[in-house]
């Protein structure tokens, strides 16, 4: 049986790891390669590196970052940020990333998911969705693009279902409403998406306490939980998170 | 010196990175002289079986020859699958035939690919796992597995709704379906164990 995964997320801006609240008010959290190596050594299951400087366009510096990370990190890692073409995905996979995440590019051109899945296998293709509850209460979520700056009319659950058909192998689902708040994941959102698709869903946005991780897996149906603030700023170690989950009966790699 | 066989598939660099990290001398090469001179060989692989076998080309004969002469050989993922007689991935393909068995699809009824961390039961007497205890998690990413029929092989298994063979040892031939280079500290220990096997033989 596969274990549930603990995935620290490193948002990288100008070669530093940063973390904000609701995607704003960024705070410095260290060097990406050093921090990545530390999490790899401490027993994280995977890492996600998102270049948040890039969101509008792909930058060559991302390749350099991936190469350095690959020399120091011995667990699988995903990279994302401003990726627009299959050639860029190829370059990042060759540089040492296991998976590449796309967000805005897939909304603009959903065919990129199919093209990438056919060429590299769907296990390499992660669809990142930044989800937001609209102001009027509709019980639905809207997809936002360009690092959360642009809301669209696309419904999150419908988009996730479509993306799976197109070739996405995994969904990295971030709630912009809970991001950085440490108030818990949006498990209504996680549940709505994980019930609708067969591929793994990574819950993201809002981890503050250990029980939030448990809730995202049990109530939200998540296969993996992603966190940033609570690991970067030393609230909990990877080991503490895994021991907590194990003690509550969840299979983890410990 | 450990030589990682360079045959233009997937990301072979990460295996070299991992050996470097644990302080081993390692070289990526497809030169016959370098391969013949190596203390041990690593056959990595991230690709479809048929593609990997054809990319290996003439090197296949050389690898078989040095493996039969006793040089330690470690196959990883598709490199592990290639140790067996044959595979049915996208057609029928012959493998190196160093270990008896066939590479077949993971049976339906579970999520495929088998991707993520799974627990492997580590039998006593498998050199790759010395010092690791009775069971450990490793990172997997594959859709086919080797159905091992070789009576001379020691086998380690993982549970994926059936007892799936995921690692073998037959004399100087070693293989892992999982990726030790991506399995954190546990995986680095497996590579370290292989490096020590090579040193002892050298």
3-state secondary structure of A77: strand
Question: Are A74 and B18 in contact (CB < 8 Å)?
Answer: yes
Q: Which residue of B has its CA nearest to A70?
A: B14
Residue A168 confidence (pLDDT) above 90: yes
User: Positive or negative, the Cα torsion across A180, A181, A183, A188?
Assistant: negative
Top-level CATH class of B2-201?
A: alpha beta
Of the candidates B77, B82, B38, B76, the residue with the CA atom closest to the CA atom of residue B60 = B82
Residue B14 near chain A (CB below 8 Å): yes
Distance between B122 CA and the closest CA of chain A, angstroms: 15
Q: Which residue of A has its CA nearest to B20?
A: A71
- CB within 8 A of B123, min separation 6: which ones? B129, B154, B155, B156
* DSSP class per residue in B10-74: S-THHHHHHHHHTT--EEEE--HHHHHH-SEEEE---S-HHHHHHHHTTHHHHHHHHHHTT--EE
Phi, psi of A10 (to 5 degrees): -110, 105
Residue B108 near chain A (CB below 8 Å): no
Question: Are B182 and A98 in contact (CB < 8 Å)?
Answer: yes
Average pLDDT over residues A135-148: 87
Residue A56 confidence (pLDDT) above 70: no
CATH topology for A5-247 is: TIM Barrel (3.20.20)
Would you call A14 a catalytic residue per the annotation? no
Measure CB to CB from residue B117 to each of A2, A41, A98 and give the nearest one: A2
The domain locations on chain B are 2-201
- Of B8, B137, B192, which to mutate for an interface test with A (greatest number of A Cβ within 10 Å)? B137
* Tens digits of residue pLDDT in A208-220: 999 999 999 999 9
β-pair type (B114-121, B135-142): antiparallel
Residue A63 near chain B (CB below 8 Å): no
Would you call B21 a catalytic residue per the annotation? no
Alpha-carbon distance A79 to A198, whole Å? 22
The domain locations on chain A are 5-247
Would you call A215 a catalytic residue per the annotation? no
Q: Which residue of A has its CA nearest to B11?
A: A94
Q: What pLDDT band is residue B139 in, cutting at 50, 70 and 90?
A: very high
The whole-number pLDDT of residue A60 equals: 78
Residue B10 confidence (pLDDT) above 70: no
Alpha-helical runs (H) found in B59-183: 59-68, 78-81
Q: At what angle do helices B184-201 and B13-21 cross, to 10 degrees?
A: 80
* Tens digits of residue pLDDT in A82-95: 899 999 999 999 89
């Amino acid at each position: 049986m596969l274990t549930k995964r603990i995935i620290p997320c490193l948002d990288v801006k100008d070669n530093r790891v940063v973390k904000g609240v609701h995607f704003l008010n960024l705070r410095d959290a260290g060097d990406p390669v050093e921090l990545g190596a530390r999490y790899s050594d401490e027993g994280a299951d995977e890492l996600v590196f998102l270049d948040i400087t890039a969101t509008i366009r792909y930058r060559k510096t991302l390749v350099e970052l991936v190469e350095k990370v690959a020399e120091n990190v011995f667990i699988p890692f995903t990279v994302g940020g401003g990726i627009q073409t299959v050639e860029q995905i190829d370059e990042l996979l060759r540089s040492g990333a296991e998976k590449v995440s796309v967000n805005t590019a897939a909304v603009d051109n959903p065919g990129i998911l199919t093209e990438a899945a056919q060429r590299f296998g769907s296990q390499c293709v992660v669809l990142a969705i930044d989800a937001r509850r609209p102001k009027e209460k509709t019980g639905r979520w809207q997809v936002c693009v360009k690092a959360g700056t642009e809301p669209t009319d696309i419904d999150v659950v419908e988009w996730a279902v479509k993306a799976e058909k197109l070739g996405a192998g995994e969904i990295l689902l971030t709630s912009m409403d809970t991001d950085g708040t440490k108030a818990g994941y949006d498990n209504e959102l996680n549940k709505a998406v994980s019930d609708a698709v067969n591929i793994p869903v990574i819950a993201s946005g809002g981890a503050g306490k250990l029980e939030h991780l448990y809730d995202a897996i049990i109530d939200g149906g998540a296969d993996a939980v992603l966190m940033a603030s609570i690991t970067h700023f030393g609230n909990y170690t990877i080991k503490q998170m895994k021991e907590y989950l194990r003690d509550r009966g969840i299979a983890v790699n410990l | 010196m450990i030589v990682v066989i360079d045959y233009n598939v997937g990301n072979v660099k990460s295996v070299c990175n991992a050996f470097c990290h644990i302080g081993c001398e390692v070289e990526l090469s497809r030169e016959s002289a370098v391969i013949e001179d190596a203390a041990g060989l690593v056959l990595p692989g991230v690709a479809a079986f048929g593609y990997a076998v054809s990319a290996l080309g003439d090197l296949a004969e050389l690898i078989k020859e040095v493996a039969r002469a006793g040089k330690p050989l470690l196959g990883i993922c598709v490199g592990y699958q290639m140790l067996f007689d044959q595979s049915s991935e996208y057609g029928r393909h012959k493998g190196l035939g160093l270990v008896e068995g066939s590479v077949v699809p993971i049976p339906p009824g579970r999520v495929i690919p088998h991707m993520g961390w799974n627990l492997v039961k580590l039998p006593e007497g498998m050199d790759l796992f010395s010092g690791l205890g009775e069971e450990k998690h490793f990172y997997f990413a594959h859709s086919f597995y080797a159905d091992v029929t070789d009576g001379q092989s020691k086998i380690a298994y993982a549970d994926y709704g059936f007892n799936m063979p995921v690692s073998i040892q037959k004399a100087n031939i070693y293989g892992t379906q999982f990726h030790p280079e991506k399995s954190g500290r546990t995986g680095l220990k497996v590579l370290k164990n292989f490096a020590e096997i090579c040193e002892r033989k050298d």
